[in-house]
Structure 1
Amino acid sequence: MGIKSIGSHLQVKGVRKQFGNVEVLKRLDLEIKPGEFVSIVGRSGCGKSTLLRLLAGLDVPTEGEVLLDEERVRGIHPDTRILFQDARLLPWKSVIANVQIGARNGDKARAEEALRLVGLEHKAKEWPSVLSGGQRQRIALARALAGSPRLLLLDEPLSALDALTRIEMQELIERIWQEQQFSAILVTHDVSEAVALADRIVLIKNGAIAIDIPVHLPRPRERNSDFAYYEKLILDHLMERGAPASVLAVSP
C-alpha cells in the first residue's frame, strides 16, 4: 500500500508572540492552502523559527490562533511532521528502526516504503554512524514520510550540507511533495533555495510579514533570468534596497 497524503489547510489568525517584554511576532495573518509549498525567509532573529514552532504546536501564541483544518493547534498534530537541520537519528538503532519511529504504530512496511522513496532501501540494516550527512538527512526525511504527513515543516534541513548534496535534496523534496501532495513550509536563510522550492515566499522582518510573493515559475525550475528576478526581488527587500516593503503579489 502506497504512502498517500492530502495537504492540510493552515491558518494563522492575528498571531502575536511575546517572550517577556520582547514582542517576537506582531499579529500575523497567513494562510497556507492544502498542498501548497511556502518558504519563509528572513534574517536571524526575525521570528521565522518562532512562527514555525507555533505552526508545529511546539509553542502557543500570546494572542491569536493557529488553525489546522479548521481546528486550533494544541500540541503536535498526528498528521504533522518536522524535518530539522540536524537529522537527529538515534545512533543505537538501525536505519530501518529509526524510520519506524515516524511510522504510525511502528509499521515496518511503511518505513521500508519511505526508504524506497528517498532511494536508501539498501541502507536499511546500516547504522547511522556509517552514513554521510546527505544520507542521514534522507533517512530523517524518510522518517517523516513514514508517518504519511499532511503537513511537513522543514526547519533549515539542508543548511549543513555541501552545495551539490543540497541541490540533490531540494530536487528529492520537490519530487516527493509533488507525488504526495502534502502541504509544506520551509524556513530557510537561502533565498535561492526558497525560489527553487516554493509556490510562495513569505519574508518576515522585525516580527511582521513584509512581503508575500507567489512564484510563477514552471517546475522543474531552471536557474535562468526569471529565477534571478525572484532572487533579486527578495534580496532587495531583505537588504532594504529599492522600494519599501509591502505585501505584494508580483510576477516577472
Structure 2
Amino acid sequence: MPMLGFGTYELDDYDECVESVTTAIETGYRHIDTAEGYDNESAVGDAIAESDVPRDDLFVATKVSPDDLDYDKVLTSAEESLERLGLDYIDLLYVHWPTGEYDAEETLEAFAELRDEGLIRKIGVSNFTVDLLSEAIEVAEEPIFANQVEMHPLLQQEELREFCDQDDIDVELVAYSPIARGDVADIPELRSVAEKHDASEAQISLAWCREKGVTAIPKATSSEHIQENWRSLGVELDDEDVAKIDSIDREERLIDPDRAPWNQ
C-alpha cells in the first residue's frame, strides 16, 4: 500500500471528482480511497478507466456503509461497489464504521468470503477503537490489514499507534483528514518546522504521518493542492522536528458523530 494516497471524501460532484482523481493519478498517486457512502465510486472508476496506468499498479480502497454490514448485505454491497468502480477486484475493503448492522463475527466472515473469492485483496476497518480493533483481530478468519482513522498533529492517536506497533499485531494505520482540513496552517509548531524546510504546514503534517509509519490519504480538489500534497514525499523531518510536533498537546476531532464508538 503506497504511503501517500488520495482521498475523495466530499468529492460528490461527478465532473469534479473525475478531474481530481485524474489529476492525482497523473501527478503520481497510486493509492485511491473512496467509499460506498461518498456517492462517487462511479466517478472514481471512470477516472481510473481513462488512465493509462495499469490496474495492477493502482491500490484502490473503498468502504461498506454501516447499514450494509450484515452478512448478505456485505456481499451485495461489495459487488455493487465493484460494478460502480468498473473493477474486477478491490485492493482494500473497509468496514466504514462499527455501527449500524456491524457484528464482528458475521460482518468479518462476509469480508473473509469476499477475499477467498478474490473479489477483494485485503480486509480493513475504519474508525475502530483499540478495543474494537482487538476484537476484530481475534474473531476474523482472515487478517485485518488496516484501520483507517482520523489522525493529524492535533489528534495524534498515540494509543492506537502503540497498539498497532506491538510485535504480535500487524495492522497498518491509515490517516484520513491528515492535514486537519487545513487547520494545521494555524499551529505555531508546524509553522516553525515548515519555515525550516521551506515547505507548507500541510506538507509537514503529511511528512510527520509518514515518520510515524502511517499512510496518509489527504483529500484535495485543485491541481495546486493535489501536487503540493504529493511533494510532501520530498520532505524529510529530523528527530527535532518530530519531537516538536509530538509536543503539541491538543486532541481535536473534526469527524465526531454521535454514533462514533468513542462516544458510546
- Report the TM-score range of the alignment, normalised by the length of the smaller protein: 0.3 to 0.5
Larger strand proportion, structure 1 or 2? 1
Larger helix proportion, structure 1 or 2? 2
Asked which structure has the greater RCO (Cα within 8 Å, sep 6+), the reply is 1
TM-score normalised according to structure 1 size? 0.34
